[in-house]
Structure 1
Amino acid sequence: MAGDGRVRRVAASALCLLLPLAGCAGGTAADSARTEVQRLLDMRSAALLRHDEGAYDATGARGEYTRLRALPLASWAYRVTGLRRTAAGATADAELTYRVAGYDRAPVDTRRTLTLARTAQGTWYVTADRPAGRSGQQLWDQGPVTAVPGAHSLVLGAGQSAADLRAYARMADRAVPAVSGQWGTDWTRKVVVVVPRSLDGMAGLLGSPAADYRGIAAVTTGEAGGAGRTPADRVVINPDAYAALGTLGKQVVLTHETTHVATRTRTTAATP
């Protein structure tokens, strides 16, 4: 009996030693998978920035590339913040930051959820990339992006004709010097205007119910009162309400929203 007790104590001690090792092995495997997924997303980002469709396609689903190809990007990067293994592969939580070339001093920062699978050889690839949780959509989530540059503006649209977007650009190009004439030139003197297909599209971009913006022709995103680096500003149009305005009303709306862009670092959230 005493011998049996010693055997049990030895076995228990050995098990206690093995359990931490098993935990370390599991942790190492999880860390390895997360590192592999991060590397995959780095490759995907680099391919997008250099317009290498073949290399992008090699990292997984290519629909996003088609929708994004017209967007002039200065930077694009994912940071994996979490990885959950699933029966089919894995789901990754990631922060996406990007800047539009020539317009953004600071990046847009948004959260994304990516679905991943593995090839027969064990290589990860992306099967889907969508807004995370309560994060708002990005314009390319609503369809291919059309970009129309102006003298002082960049108009980005989804579900809008290039001709209609050029009309927005003309209005924005008049708004920028008008605002500079009153406020001064200590701002970017450029504006990015985003035009979704409809009110529902606007609400999707802002991550809020459509009822919150019914009858509102446009809003400007970004944080007021920032010190130094403020998030990239966007004038987001409600095309349904905007279309109901006359020419003067449309110009007033874009000039008003451009004023928010110009004064962003000098105003507070209470500023109308």
Structure 2
Amino acid sequence: MAGRRRVSGSSAVAVCLLLASLTACGGHSPADTARRQVQRLLDRRAAAVLHHDPAAYAATGARASYADLKAVPLTAWSYRVTAVRRSGDTATADAELRYRVTGYDTAPVTVGRVLTLSTAADGAWYVDSERPAPKSAQQLWDQGPVAVVRGARSIVLGAGQSDGSLRAYAGLADRAVPAVSDAWGADWSRRIVVLVPGSLDGMAALLGSTAAGYRGIAAVTTGETGGGRAPADRIIVNPDAYGALAPLGKQVVLTHETTHVATRAHTGAATPLWLSEGYADWVGYRDAGRTPDEVAPELRRAVTAGRPPAALPADGDFGFTGDATRLAQAYEGGWLACRMIAAHWGEDRLDAFYRAVGTHTGRAGAVEDALGKVLGTTLPEFTARWREYLRAQLG
């Protein structure tokens, strides 16, 4: 047919030879072949995790990590290889690990991992080690064997913790969940995941941060650290600071963090920290029977000294690494703002105000709009009322 040229057999051979250094004729490059082999290896490794098959896991390489994570109840566990860098009989693979904790995660949690591999005499690849990818946080099983305690409304995973300690956390969590639902409502999962590492350093590693940033902080949720709306927030405990609290303080902290889990879907870029942290503290202290003098000692000192704050706390006041007094006053000021709304406008209006602020996509005008629509006031009027409330409650 016109327009076509027949390629001779010798020409076809020449083309294949020309391209051989990049791609086998009709095949794949060595890099692609290695990546496919590593993907198949990790598929087998993931299947061994899900099927609780230590022998099959060991057949894929290093087996120590299986013992560390085998107690974690998993609905899903898979790897997606994104890159393989081969050097002779060894290789380094970048991968995304996707997993779901049974009964708690509504979608897979995705984390970056790096695996080192080597080939044996049979030419097959085997995993030598696995670690978090650069700038990725550790997983609890990276810190040693994970123990699991199930509560009625919670699951507590610990590393370097006794079963008795984890049962105590589960008891606190099971009391926190209904307390939050009573205040916020039932439109959330009403189940929480609590991670308890062995130390402050372990907590920081789970957050992909340094210990200095969380020293003295008893617990956080992953959403507070910039993780966004996760399939299931993790409440991560600092056992050093948490262990120093009195029983009431332990319950307040866990109820506070559980509130963050419940309100996460309605918390976004428009929500100021005085509202998100103040509301969580309001729920935490709601049934504690504590007075403002007891809950807000730093603000009380400022008010009685004639130095009440001129404005609601700014987001920058909540920095963990900043001045401790400033941080305490920020939390206390947010709590008293939410307490004032509940006392003056009612608890239902407080909830509605929180949700209304969260409907906005950005900070500008969000609080002002919600104040007008839900509470019938303006930001200057609200701030003035709040400052007077501080003087009345703490003066």
- What TM-score does the superposition give when structure 1 sets the normalisation length? 0.90
- Give me the whole-angstrom Cα distance separating, in 2, the residues matched to 1:153 and 1:182: 18
1:178 Cα offset (Å):
0.5
Contact 1:225–1:266 (8 Å) recurs in 2:
no
Matching residue of 2:247 = 247
Contact 2:180–2:255 (8 Å) recurs in 1:
yes
- Give me the whole-angstrom Cα distance separating, in 1, the residues matched to 2:72 and 2:96: 19
2:189 aligned counterpart, secondary structure:
coil
Contact 1:224–1:264 (8 Å) recurs in 2:
no
Matching residue of 1:212 = 213
Contact 1:45–1:76 (8 Å) recurs in 2:
yes
1:231 Cα offset (Å):
3.1
Count of residue pairs the alignment pairs up: 256
Matching residue of 1:268 = 268
**Which of the two has greater helix per residue?**
2
Q: Of the two structures, which has the highest relative contact order with CA contacts closer than 8 Å and spacing of 6 or more?
A: 1
Contact 1:81–1:95 (8 Å) recurs in 2:
yes
- Give me the whole-angstrom Cα distance separating, in 2, the residues matched to 1:264 and 1:29: 46
Q: Which amino acid aligns with 1:23?
A: L
Matching residue of 1:21 = 20
Contact 1:224–1:267 (8 Å) recurs in 2:
no
Moved more, 79-88 or 249-258: 79-88
Write out per-residue CA displacement over residues 79-104 of structure 1, whole angstroms, 9 at most, x where no aligned residue: 00000002441100000010000111
1:20 Cα offset (Å):
3.1
Matching residue of 1:154 = 155
- Give me the whole-angstrom Cα distance separating, in 2, the residues matched to 1:109 and 1:237: 21
Contact 1:224–1:266 (8 Å) recurs in 2:
no
Unaligned runs of 5+ in 1: 1-13
1:24 aligned counterpart, secondary structure:
coil
Aligned-pair identity in percent equals 64
Write out per-residue CA displacement over residues 134-191 of structure 1, whole angstroms, 9 at most, x where no aligned residue: 1111100100000000000000000000000000000000000110111111111000
Structure having the higher Rg: 2
Matching residue of 1:129 = 130
Residues 19-168 of structure 1 aligned to structure 2 (within 5 Å): 19-25=18-24, 28-168=29-169
Q: Which amino acid aligns with 1:234?
A: R
1:19 Cα offset (Å):
4.0
Q: Which amino acid aligns with 2:262?
A: A
**Which of the two has greater strand per residue?**
1
Write out per-residue CA displacement over residues 103-146 of structure 1, whole angstroms, 9 at most, x where no aligned residue: 11122211000011111010111010111111111100100000
Change (3 A) 1:224 1:15: closer
1:15 Cα offset (Å):
8.8
2:84 aligned counterpart, secondary structure:
strand
- Give me the whole-angstrom Cα distance separating, in 1, the residues matched to 2:53 and 2:15: 52
Contact 1:47–1:53 (8 Å) recurs in 2:
yes
- Give me the whole-angstrom Cα distance separating, in 1, the residues matched to 2:257 and 2:87: 45
1:21 Cα offset (Å):
3.3
Change (3 A) 1:233 1:143: same
2:21 aligned counterpart, secondary structure:
helix
Q: Which amino acid aligns with 1:170?
A: G
- Give me the whole-angstrom Cα distance separating, in 1, the residues matched to 2:16 and 2:107: 50
